[in-house]
Structure 1
Amino acid sequence: PTTAPPTTAPPTTGPPIDATPASQAGLEILHGIPDTPVDAYLDGELLVGGFAPGELAGPLDLPGGSYDVDLYAASDEPAATADDRSDPPIASAELPVTGDPGTLVITPTASGEVQLQTFTDDLSPVPAGDGRLTIRNPGPGGVSITVAAVDGGLPMEVGLEPGESFTADLPAGDYVVQITDEAGNERLASVVSNVEGTLTSATAILPDVGDAELLLQRISDLGTPPDGIPTGNSGLLPGSHGDESTGLILAGIAALGLLALVGRQRLRNVE
Structure 2
Amino acid sequence: MELSYFRRVAAGGAVAALTFVGVGALAATPAYAATSKVSVVHGIPDTPVDVYVNGEKTLDNFKPGDVAGPLNLEEGAYDIALTRPGEPVAQAILTVDDAAVPGGANISIAAHLDAAGKPKITPFVNDTGKVAAGKARLIVRHTAAAPAVDVRAGGTPVFEDLTNPNEAKGDVDAGAVKADVVLAGTDTVAIGPADLDLKEGTATIVYAIGSADAKNLGVVAQTITGLHSAPAGVPSGDGGQAGTGVDTWWYVLTGAGALLLVGGGARVATARTGRR
TM-score normalized by structure 1? 0.63
- Offset of residue 141 of structure 1: 4.2
- Offset of residue 142 of structure 1: 4.1
Is the Cα–Cα contact under 8 Å of residues 197 and 225 in structure 1 kept in the other structure? no
State which of 254, 261, 265 in structure 1 corresponds to 2:253.
Answer: 261
What percent of counterpart residues are identical? 28
1:77-96 equivalent positions in 2, closer than 5 A? 82-83=89-90, 88-94=91-97, 95-96=99-100
Deviates more, 1:183-192 or 1:203-212: 183-192
Indicate whether 1:101 and 2:106 are aligned: yes
Indicate whether 1:126 and 2:137 are aligned: no
Q: Letter of the aligned partner of 1:178 in structure 2?
A: D
Is the Cα–Cα contact under 8 Å of residues 143 and 207 in structure 2 kept in the other structure? yes
Q: How far apart, CA to CA, are the structure 2 residues paired with 1:37 and 1:112?
A: 19
Whichever structure has more strand as a proportion of its residues is 2
Q: Letter of the aligned partner of 1:40 in structure 2?
A: V
Q: How far apart, CA to CA, are the structure 1 residues paired with 2:78 and 2:93?
A: 17
Corresponding position of 1:57: 68
- Offset of residue 167 of structure 1: 1.4
Q: Letter of the aligned partner of 1:74 in structure 2?
A: P
Q: Letter of the aligned partner of 2:219 in structure 1?
A: L
Corresponding position of 1:243: none
Deviates more, 1:124-133 or 1:90-99: 90-99
Indicate whether 1:135 and 2:140 are aligned: yes
Is the Cα–Cα contact under 8 Å of residues 216 and 262 in structure 1 kept in the other structure? no
Provide the secondary structure at the position in 2 that maps to 1:106: strand
State which of 174, 187, 195 in structure 1 corresponds to 2:199.
Answer: 195
Corresponding position of 2:55: 44
Is the Cα–Cα contact under 8 Å of residues 131 and 171 in structure 1 kept in the other structure? yes
State which of 214, 217, 222 in structure 2 corresponds to 1:217.
Answer: 222
TM-score normalized by structure 2? 0.62
CA 1:177–1:59: 2 relative to 1, 3 Å: same
Q: How far apart, CA to CA, are the structure 1 residues paired with 2:120 and 2:96?
A: 8
CA 1:110–1:264: 2 relative to 1, 3 Å: closer
Following TM superposition, where does structure 1 have runs of at least 4 consecutive aligned residues deviating by more than 6 angstroms?
Answer: 262-265
Q: How far apart, CA to CA, are the structure 2 residues paired with 1:28 and 1:201?
A: 12
The alignment covers a number of residue pairs equal to 203
Indicate whether 1:171 and 2:178 are aligned: no
Cα deviations across residues 33-92 of structure 1 (Å, max 9, x unaligned)? 2332111122332221111222222222223444332212223xx65xx24xxxx32222
Q: Larger C-alpha radius of gyration, 1 or 2?
A: 1
Provide the secondary structure at the position in 1 that maps to 2:200: coil
Q: Letter of the aligned partner of 2:182 in structure 1?
A: T
State which of 206, 209, 214 in structure 1 corresponds to 2:210.
Answer: 206
Q: How far apart, CA to CA, are the structure 2 residues paired with 1:264 and 1:170?
A: 27
Q: How far apart, CA to CA, are the structure 2 residues paired with 1:209 and 1:263?
A: 10
Deviates more, 1:154-163 or 1:181-190: 181-190
Structure 2: state its 5+ residue gaps. Answer: 1-29, 236-251, 258-276
CA 1:114–1:146: 2 relative to 1, 3 Å: closer
CA 1:45–1:142: 2 relative to 1, 3 Å: farther
Corresponding position of 2:267: none
State which of 23, 35, 44 in structure 2 corresponds to 1:33.
Answer: 44
- Offset of residue 127 of structure 1: 0.6
Q: How far apart, CA to CA, are the structure 1 residues paired with 2:201 and 2:255?
A: 19
Cα deviations across residues 205-234 of structure 1 (Å, max 9, x unaligned)? 13131321111111111106566x8x9xxx
Q: How far apart, CA to CA, are the structure 2 residues paired with 1:23 and 1:51?
A: 30
Q: How far apart, CA to CA, are the structure 2 residues paired with 1:160 and 1:111?
A: 15
